[in-house]
């Protein structure tokens, strides 16, 4: 007998839960791609996308995943042989770095420890050292989906301005745009990227690159940009097909339209606040359990934690055991530990993650935490009982 039979909850850090309204919008006959409803909806769609990124700049929509947007951002701004500075705080920054190198771009990496955040002194030193302004861009990840840390971008902009360094500031917002507060224009980010499958609540399959005029100017100085990644016709098309360099992602566009309607109907500030309070509920539960056992939040400092994903350490092999129990006995799929491998735990079996991005409410999160508490008990993993009740108290707002 298993208690998992019912509506399961996929609590991995992306793809996130797709709302019924989005799935319903995607369940349709193929539309005409030359005229009519679909082409007509594009101006509103791009405007509403930019509202999510809090930018008045430009947006290019790509048929790709997040990794594709890594390429796109670089393809339009940095030529092979040029150089960038990468501020690494985790697994995905490292992965972006490999994409940079494979494009023939030189990359200097400031490696803050996995789960750490920027040491601004070290960043400043690196930028000062680059008096020739070789760095065409400073690359960093807003939220690392692996460690669940969150980084601040406004101080980087301040520093670049203070130093008069012309490098573009690029933010990978794949994990948490539409979840954690992100204000592209106010924070001075020049290029921001994200995908459809996390805070935007759609299936994977679309990537978005937001850029401002300064970044557009960088594009203009390049000799050559491959047609597929070129953001200029995508952002300012003369014909519908140019939005997508070819055939449009028809069904995703309808899903995205539904998702943006939901976000803006709720209000972006409310969306962010919802993610914030649900994250606090999760932290309260985890800290409660950890009082009498091995469970630890991966990011110790609450001000550096994402509101969209939470990484946890519990010791090998209990991360894996807990995931397996929750899936088979409670109907909840937890995220695997990613990029946490150590010598005694090469498969990151001592870690796991909660995704809580996008279409998530109190019911889903409290059910998640209740399931984990049940799993801890079932597997005889030491913990202080009562975590889910602690989370309920946070949810109550009392």
The encoded tokens of residue 238 equal 């003369």
Nearer to a copy of itself, 168 or 253 (CB): 253
The encoded tokens of residue 380 equal 């005889």
Segment interacting with a copy of itself (CB under 8 A) among 113-121, 132-140, 274-282, 310-318: 274-282
What is the rounded distance in angstroms from the CA atom of residue 198 to the CA atom of residue 306?
13
Among 41, 120, 277, 347, binds a copy of itself (CB under 8 A): 277
**Taking CB under 8 A as the criterion, which residues in 161-200 touch a copy of itself?**
195, 197
The encoded tokens of residue 295 equal 């469970």
Yes or no: say if 354 and 387 are a contact pair by the CB < 8 Å rule. Answer: no
Yes or no: say if 193 and 174 are a contact pair by the CB < 8 Å rule. Answer: yes
CB of 110 vs a copy of itself, minimal distance in Å: 21
Yes or no: say if 350 and 339 are a contact pair by the CB < 8 Å rule. Answer: no
**Taking CB under 8 A as the criterion, which residues in 102-161 touch a copy of itself?**
102-104
Which helix (DSSP H) or strand (DSSP E) does residue 234 occupy?
helix 231-235
CB of 185 vs a copy of itself, minimal distance in Å: 23
DSSP assignment of 57-102: SEEEEESS-HHHHHHHHHHTT--TT-EEEEEE-SHHHHHHHHHHHH
The encoded tokens of residue 260 equal 């943006």
CB of 56 vs a copy of itself, minimal distance in Å: 25
Q: Where are the alpha helices (DSSP H) in 76-173?
A: 91-102, 120-129, 154-163
Among 180, 190, 230, 345, binds a copy of itself (CB under 8 A): 230
The reply to whether 205 sits near a copy of itself by the rule CB under 8 A is yes
CB of 72 vs a copy of itself, minimal distance in Å: 9
Among 39, 66, 90, 319, binds a copy of itself (CB under 8 A): 66
Among 37, 131, 132, 227, binds a copy of itself (CB under 8 A): 227
Nearer to a copy of itself, 161 or 266 (CB): 266
The encoded tokens of residue 381 equal 């993993």
Among 46, 49, 71, 283, binds a copy of itself (CB under 8 A): 71
Q: How far is CA 216 from CA 60, 119, 219, 389, in A?
A: 11, 29, 5, 50
The three-point CA angle 229-235-236 to 5° equals 120
Residues in CB range of 102: below 8 A, 6 or more apart = none
The reply to whether 65 sits near a copy of itself by the rule CB under 8 A is yes
**Taking CB under 8 A as the criterion, which residues in 23-62 touch a copy of itself?**
23-24, 26-34
Segment interacting with a copy of itself (CB under 8 A) among 120-128, 146-154, 273-281, 308-316: 273-281
Q: Where are the alpha helices (DSSP H) in 178-223?
A: 184-187, 213-221
**Taking CB under 8 A as the criterion, which residues in 368-387 touch a copy of itself?**
368-371, 373-378, 380, 385-387
Among 1, 132, 221, 344, binds a copy of itself (CB under 8 A): 1
Among 134, 225, 268, 347, binds a copy of itself (CB under 8 A): 225
Residues in CB range of 396: below 8 A, 6 or more apart = none
**Taking CB under 8 A as the criterion, which residues in 248-267 touch a copy of itself?**
248-252, 262, 266
Q: How far is CA 362 from CA 5, 275, 367, in A?
A: 21, 10, 8
The reply to whether 348 sits near a copy of itself by the rule CB under 8 A is no
> Taken in order 157, 161, 165, 167, is the CA torsion positive or negative?
positive
Number of shown-chain residues binding a copy of itself (CB under 8 A): 111
Nearer to a copy of itself, 136 or 234 (CB): 234
CB of 52 vs a copy of itself, minimal distance in Å: 15
Q: How far is CA 280 from CA 116, 366, 368, in A?
A: 20, 12, 14
The reply to whether 328 sits near a copy of itself by the rule CB under 8 A is no
The reply to whether 70 sits near a copy of itself by the rule CB under 8 A is yes
What is the rounded distance in angstroms from the CA atom of residue 63 to the CA atom of residue 246?
10
Nearest to 200 by CA among 6, 19, 390: 19
Nearer to a copy of itself, 28 or 128 (CB): 28
Segment interacting with a copy of itself (CB under 8 A) among 40-48, 203-211, 294-302, 309-317: 203-211
Nearer to a copy of itself, 116 or 370 (CB): 370
What is the rounded distance in angstroms from the CA atom of residue 139 to the CA atom of residue 78?
12
CB of 363 vs a copy of itself, minimal distance in Å: 4
């Amino acid at each position: 007998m298993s208690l998992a039979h019912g509506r399961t909850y996929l609590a991995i850090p992306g793809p996130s839960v797709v709302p019924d309204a989005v799935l319903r919008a995607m369940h349709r006959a193929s539309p005409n791609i030359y005229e009519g409803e679909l082409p007509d909806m594009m101006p509103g769609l791009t405007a509403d996308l930019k509202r999510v990124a809090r930018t008045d700049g430009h947006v290019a929509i790509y048929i790709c995943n997040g990794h594709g947007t890594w390429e796109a951002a670089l393809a339009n701004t940095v030529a092979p042989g040029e150089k960038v500075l990468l501020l690494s705080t985790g697994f995905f920054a490292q992965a972006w770095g490999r994409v940079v190198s494979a494009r023939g771009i030189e990359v200097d990496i400031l490696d803050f420890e996995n789960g750490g955040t920027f040491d601004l002194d070290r960043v400043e030193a690196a930028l000062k050292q680059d008096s020739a302004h070789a760095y065409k861009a400073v690359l960093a990840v807003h939220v690392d989906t692996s460690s669940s840390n969150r980084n601040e971008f406004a101080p980087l902009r301040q520093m670049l301005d203070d130093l008069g360094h012309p490098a573009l500031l690029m933010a990978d917002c794949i994990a948490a745009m539409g979840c954690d507060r992100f204000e592209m224009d106010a924070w001075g980010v020049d290029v921001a990227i994200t995908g459809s499958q996390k805070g935007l609540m759609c299936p994977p399959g679309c990537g978005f690159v937001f850029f401002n005029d300064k970044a557009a100017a960088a594009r203009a100085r390049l000799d050559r940009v491959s047609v597929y990644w070129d953001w200029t016709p995508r952002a300012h098309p003369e014909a519908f097909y140019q939005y997508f360099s070819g055939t449009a992602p028809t069904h995703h566009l309808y899903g995205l339209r539904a998702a943006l309607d939901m976000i803006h109907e709720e209000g972006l500030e409310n969306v962010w606040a919802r993610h914030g309070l649900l994250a606090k509920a999760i932290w309260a539960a985890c800290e409660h359990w950890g009082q009498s056992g091995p469970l630890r939040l991966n990011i110790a400092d609450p001000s550096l934690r994402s509101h969209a994903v939470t990484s946890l350490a519990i010791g090998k092999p209990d991360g894996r055991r807990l995931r397996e129990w929750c899936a088979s006995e409670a109907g909840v799929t937890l995220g695997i530990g990613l990029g946490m491998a150590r010598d005694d735990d090469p498969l990151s079996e001592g870690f796991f993650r909660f995704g809580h991005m996008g279409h998530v409410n109190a019911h889903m999160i409290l059910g998640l935490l209740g399931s984990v508490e049940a799993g801890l008990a079932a597997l005889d993993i030491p913990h202080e009982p009562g975590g889910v009740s602690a989370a309920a108290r946070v949810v109550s707002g009392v």
